[in-house]
Amino acid sequence: MLNRVMEWFRTLFGTTSSSSVAKERLRLVLLSDHLALAPDVIEAMRRDIFEVISRYVEVDEAHSDVSFEHKDEGIAMLASIPIVSLKPREPEAGLGDQSSPKEETSVLETVSVNGHNSDNYGRRPRKRRRRKASGASQTAPAQ
């Protein structure tokens, strides 16, 4: 009984009602359940991510991992993709593609194209080459 009075107080004084909490928890858990139930979608996403990133860098696909985690108020897709080396850039490929790489990498929370995986739980890329001071790497979007 006291529990219900407390609940009533919580709602009255503006703290979240239990039904709102329930609704939000359900939203996240259903999203998580749907992701778990769509391995083909996740696989397709993974392949597309590799394909895009591989245009700019060599990646170590065997040691890569794409997963979904509950973070704070939502679910984040996390990609940890060891970067082996930069690819030599095609002369004209960069400018025309300026917009799309930005859009694609913005989907990825913790992948950094230039090899500094600062936010990926401490995993280090397998090999890293120093960025050239000049050259094609300038056109890669900085993160």
Partner 1 sequence: MKARRIVVTSGKGGVGKTTTTANLGAALAVRGKRVILVDADIGLRNLDLVLGVEKRIVFDLVEVVEGRCQVRQALVRDKRFGESLAILPAAQTRDKTAVSELQFAEVVNNLTEMCDYVLIDSPAGIEHGFRNAIAGAAEAIVVTTPEVSAIRDADRVIGKLQERGLPMRLIVNRVRPEMVRNGEMMSVDDVCDILSAELLGIVPDDPEVIDTTNRGVPLVLDPTQRLGAIYTKIARRLEGEMIPFTQLGSGGFFGRLFEVLRAG
Partner 2 sequence: METQRVFSAPSESSPQIEIHAPPSPVESQKTPKTRGRTIVVTSGKGGVGKTTTTANLGVALAARGARVVLIDADVGLRNLDLVLGLESRVRYHVLDVLEGRVSLADALVRDKRVPTLYLLAAAQNREKDDIATDAMVGLVEQLRDEFDYVLIDSPAGIEMGFKNAVAGADEAIVVCTPEVAAVRDVDRVIGLLGNRINAQLVVNRIRPALVRKGKMLSVEDVNAILRLPLLGVLGDAADVIVSTNRGEPVALDEASATGAAYRTIAARIAGEDVPAPQAAEPDGFMDKLGSFFGGRR
Q: What is the DSSP letter of 23?
A: H
What torsion do the CA atoms of 86, 89, 94, 100 make, to the nearest 10 degrees? -40
Measured from the CB atom, is 7 or 58 closer to partner 2? 7
Token output for 78:
């996390």
Task: Write b or e for each residue in 67-77: b if 16 or more Cβ atoms lie within 10 A of its Cβ, otherwise e.
Answer: eeeeeeeebeb
At closest approach, how far in Å is the CB of 63 from partner 2?
16
Binding mask 42-81 for partner 2 (x = CB under 8 A): ---------------------------xx-----------
- Give the shortest CB-64-to-partner 2 separation in angstroms: 16
For residue 36, state whether it binds partner 2 (rule: CB under 8 A): yes
**Residue type (1 letter), 26:** L
Rounded CA-CA distance 18/8 in Å is: 10
Contact between 63 and partner 1 by CB under 8 A: the answer reads no
Q: Does 41 sit near partner 2 (CB under 8 A)?
A: no
Nearest CA among 45, 80, 77, 76 for reference residue 62: 80
Is the Cβ of residue 28 or residue 93 nearer to partner 1 in the bound state? 28
Residue 27 near partner 1 by CB under 8 A: yes
- Residue 23, interface with partner 1 (CB under 8 A)? yes
Only segment of 24-32, 44-52, 57-65, 86-94 that touches partner 1 (CB under 8 A): 24-32
Closest of 85, 69, 88 to residue 77, by C-alpha: 69
**Positions in the binding site for partner 1 (CB under 8 A):** 4, 7-8, 11-12, 17-20, 22-23, 25-27, 29-30, 33-34, 37
